[in-house]
Amino acid sequence: MFLKKSLIGAAVLVALGTFVFGRDALSYATTWGGTVRDAVKSEVPLEFEIERARTEVENLVPDIRDMMHVIASAQVDVDHKAKEVERRSDGLNSQKKAILALRNDLDTGRSEFVYASHTYSADDVRKDLEKRFKQYKVAENSLESDVQILTAWKKTMTANQEKLDTMLTAKQDLEVQIEQLEARLRTVEAAEATATLTFDDSKLAKAKKLIVELNKQLDVRERQASLEGQVNGLIPVEEATESTEASITNRIDDYFGPKTDTGSSSADESVADNDS
C-alpha cells in the first residue's frame, strides 16, 4: 500500500514538472540535482576531503599487493620453465650426437656393429636410427614450443612489472600531492588567522572610544559639582587665600617701607598731642 502511494506521488510530481517546465523538465531536474550536489560538497571541510583522498590512495595498496603476488608467481614459473628448457635442450643435443654417430657407422658400409657388447646388423641400426630421428624431431618441436611459452611468460612478466612500477610511482606522486595539499591548507589557515587578528582592531578602537567617552562624562560631573558648590554659597575652603588685613599691611609696607621703632614713637606722640 505504501509502495503504491509512493509510486503515485512520484508520478504526480513527474507529471506536474512536465506540465510546468515542458520538455525542459529533465534539464531543470538535472541542473537542480547538480546544484544541490555542489552545494553539499562545498560544505564539506577541506580537511575531510584531504583525508578522503589519502584513503583513496591507501585503497590502492591491496591491488598493488595482488599485482606483486602475480609477478612473484610468474617469476617462479619463468625460472622453472627456463630450467626445464635448458635440461631438455641438453637432452636434445645428446640425442643429436647419438643420431650422427649411428649415421656415421652406417656410412662405413659394414653389415654388423657392436654396441655395449651386443652385436647389431646394419638393418637393426638403420631401424633404430629411424626411430631415434622421429623422437628427436618430436622433442625438438616440443622444445621450440616451450621456448615460445617461456618467451611469452617473460614478456607478460615484464609488462606486469612495468605496470607495477607505474602504479607505485603514481601512488608516490599522489602521496606527495596530498602532502602539498596539507601544506597549502596550513598556509591558508595561517593567512586566515592573520586576517582575523586584523579584523579585531575594530574592537580595540571601540574599547578606546568607550574609555574616552567615560573620561568626558567624569569631567562633566566634576565641573557640575564645582558649579553647584558656588550656587549654595559655600566658601571654597580648598582655595588658599590671604586675609584682607594681611593684604593691606603688606601693601602699606611696600609703599612706605618696612615698619621701624622710630616711626612708631613719632606716631604715638602725634596721636597724644591730638588728644590734648
- In residues, how long is the chain? 276
Task: Determine the Cα–Cα distance for residues 264 and 268; give it in Å rounded to an integer.
Answer: 6
Count of the separate structural domains present in the chain: 1
For residue 92, the one-letter residue type is: L
Helix (H) or strand (E) holding 267: helix 261-275
Q: Which residue has the cell 607505485?
A: 168
Specify the CATH number for the domain of residue 156: 1.10.287
Q: Are 143 and 89 in contact (CB under 8 A)?
A: yes
Question: How many CB atoms sit inside 10 A of residue 196's CB?
Answer: 9
Whether 256 is in a domain gets the answer: no
User: Can you say whether residue 257 is alpha, beta or left, with left for phi > 0 and alpha for psi between -120 and 50 degrees?
Assistant: left
In a domain, 237, yes or no: no
Domain assignment of residue 238, yes or no: no
**Nearest one of 8, 9, 7, 29 to 18, comparing CA atoms:** 29
| Structural domain span for residue 74 | 46-186
Q: Give domain status of residue 134, yes or no.
A: yes
pLDDT per residue, tens digit, the chain (276 aa), is 545 555 565 555 555 556 555 555 555 556 655 555 555 556 778 899 999 999 999 999 999 999 999 999 999 999 999 999 999 999 999 999 999 999 999 999 899 999 999 999 999 999 999 999 999 999 999 999 999 999 999 999 999 999 999 999 999 999 999 999 999 999 988 887 776 555 566 777 888 888 888 888 888 888 887 777 666 655 555 554 555 555 666 777 777 776 655 444 444 444 445 444
Q: What is the pLDDT of residue 34?
A: 56
220 close to 227: Cβ distance less than 8 angstroms: no
The Cα 51–Cα 76 span in angstroms is 39
Report the pLDDT value the prediction gives residue 259, as an integer from 0 to 100.
62
Is residue 271 included in any domain, yes or no?
no
What lies within 8 Å, CB to CB, of 226 at 6+ separation is: none
Is position 179 within any domain?
Answer: yes
Which DSSP helix (H) or strand (E) runs through 115?
A: strand 112-115
Is 80 domain-assigned?
A: yes
Q: Name the β-bridge partners of 5.
A: none
Asked whether 76 and 131 are in contact (CB, 8 A), the reply is no
Grid coordinates given for 27: 534539464
246: helix, coil or strand? helix
Can you tell me which residue has the cell 636434445?
92
Nearest to 141 by CA among 95, 102, 92: 92
The answer to whether residues 85 and 147 touch, using CB atoms and an 8 Å cutoff, is: yes
Residue 143 covered by a domain: yes
Select from 67, 51, 46, 53 the least CA-distant residue to 174.
53
